[in-house]
Amino acid sequence: MSEAPILKDTARSKGRDALQKNIQAALALAEAIRSTLGPKGLDKLLIDDDGRTLVTNDGVTVLETAKVEHPVAKMMISASSAQDRVAKDGTTSTVILAGEMLQNAWQLILQGIHPSTIARGFRKAEQFVLKSLEEISLKANDAMQKTVVKTSLAGKGHSSMQETIADISLRAVKMIVEGDDDIIDPTKIKLISQTGGRVEESSLIQGLMLPKKRISSEMQKDVSNGKILLIDGGLEQQGLKSDLKLNVTDTGVLESFRQQERIMLKSQVDKLVENGVNVLACKEGIDDGIRDYLVKNRIQAFRRVSRNDLNMLARACSATLVNSIKSSRSEDLGEFKSSKNISLDGKDFWVVEAAGKAATIIAKGSTVDIIGEVERCFDDSLGVSVQLIQDSDVVCGGGASYVALARKLRRYAETIPGREQLAVEAYADGIEVILRVLAENAGIDPISSLIDVVAEQTNLDSDNIGINLTTGKPGDMLELGVLEPSGIIKQAIIGATEVSISILRIDDVLWAKQDIDASLPPQSDM
């Protein structure tokens, strides 16, 4: 029976033709960000529909910003985005690895090897590589941690900028670590950007810096070693909450209502004074009529502080967020080292320094474009720092670990019977692409670099030998301080393998024909 009536309005591509087109789309996407990899990688200039520009060499930023229609390309971008969420680095490597694996797989397909056989071989290779990765990993000590974070910033800005961002990020993450807790919450770190100045002038405070101003300039500007109360509500007059109708015959009645409300508000302030509160922060408003009473009692007050900021203040000051002043107890209060208002670039900020688990990074840059790149660098370095503190396993960079894994994988391939052996060898060739691209972007011959590194690793029986992009010669990455968390490579290999196998298993692509846009007005007769 013919299938034409069923697929009447569908364009179809199947078999080898469909696979070839899918692989071509994947290779085109990998080629688009290939030149951004490594410390010698180049930047991309992105321009949106409104003419706004963005200069970056962050792979996932380039991919997510670009307009991509092909479904296979979207699968590759999804793998890169997953890498960014999990590891915060290695997004470009994931796409390049997947593209090279698919290209090698296509060569096997041309030789008559079925895609399912290649997929099984890739899966075996992945399992072996992940096991071997644990064998070549090292435990990072405190001295190595900063080097690892700095390596993740290779190619992003100059060395002084990398040094500053790596140092601040690592110190910020260590500030929020709670004992032996295996899970570190990076949301406890607040990032505030300021245009003007150099990146090296960026700073870190243990506590919070919020764009807030105290409700009265007559209040104390700086309070030291005090107590803070956080209210998930406000300190203001409450309207009637029922449908009652009052028939007022005397204007004095209204004034007595207002007077009674002021007395009630003052009684709440008296409770603050009784509990020794120096700073008050409310989610909602604070009545202007009570402002002078707060000033008189030397209480620094802030209103309309967001719920997220209140929660961060609670962590920083070891306080408890309560619903109202009436329900507050002395044990709900938090402690701080200092609470002050400062002015930066014409804007008012509230700075709270405390010993709790919260930190604020003040990032600086000369222009808006520079600030944007600095924010992305901090985001990446904080993610790498969190991963490094949680898992101290690191491997050598400079392509050393990928070459070492490929060497071990080729020896493993010799033990596999059948055509899957060819797939495993193709997988080994695929993961070596990282070293070749690093050399290529540095203006070094990629083939010669790969051959030299493989020979050096074999002769010295060392998995630490990679490409020194400064000299163009093989070098010991451990001695040079080029290290990265093993979790980044692990996730990159997993992501690249998954998307490669998914694409290899597609042998039929059905494109539904697009209907004419009914929203367009009909054309009038000439």
Catalogue the active-site residues: 58, 91-92, 380
Cα–Cα distance for residue pair 377/379, rounded to 1 Å: 5
Q: Are 352 and 205 in contact (CB under 8 A)?
A: no
Q: What residues does 348 pair with on adjacent strands?
A: 343
- The amino acid at 57: N
Burial class (CB in 10 A: 0-12, 13-18, 19+), 419: middle
Name the DSSP letter for residue 302: E
- The amino acid at 353: E
Instruction: Show the beta-strand stretches assigned E in 366-501.
Output: 393-396, 465-468, 473-476, 483-485
Q: Find all residues with CB under 8 Å of 314, minimum gap 6, and list them.
A: 230, 320, 321, 334
Cα–Cα distance for residue pair 365/238, rounded to 1 Å: 45
Tokens of 100: 């090279």
User: In this structure, what is the dihedral angle of CA atoms 298, 304, 310, 316, given to the nearest 10 degrees?
Assistant: -40
What's the 3-state SS for 102-157? HHHHHHHHHCCCCHHHHHHHHHHHHHHHHHHHHHHCEECCHHHHHHHHHHHCCCCC
Residue 476, classed as helix, strand or coil, is strand
Tokens of 124: 């075996």
Q: Are 502 and 75 in contact (CB under 8 A)?
A: yes
Q: Are 235 and 268 in contact (CB under 8 A)?
A: yes
Q: Find all residues with CB under 8 Å of 169, minimum gap 6, and list them.
A: 149, 361, 378, 381, 382, 384, 385
Q: How many residues does the chain have?
A: 526
Cα–Cα distance for residue pair 423/230, rounded to 1 Å: 61
Q: Find all residues with CB under 8 Å of 27, minimum gap 6, and list them.
A: 99, 102, 103
Cα–Cα distance for residue pair 319/297, rounded to 1 Å: 21
Cα–Cα distance for residue pair 41/27, rounded to 1 Å: 18
Tokens of 326: 């009436």
Q: Are 320 and 310 in contact (CB under 8 A)?
A: no
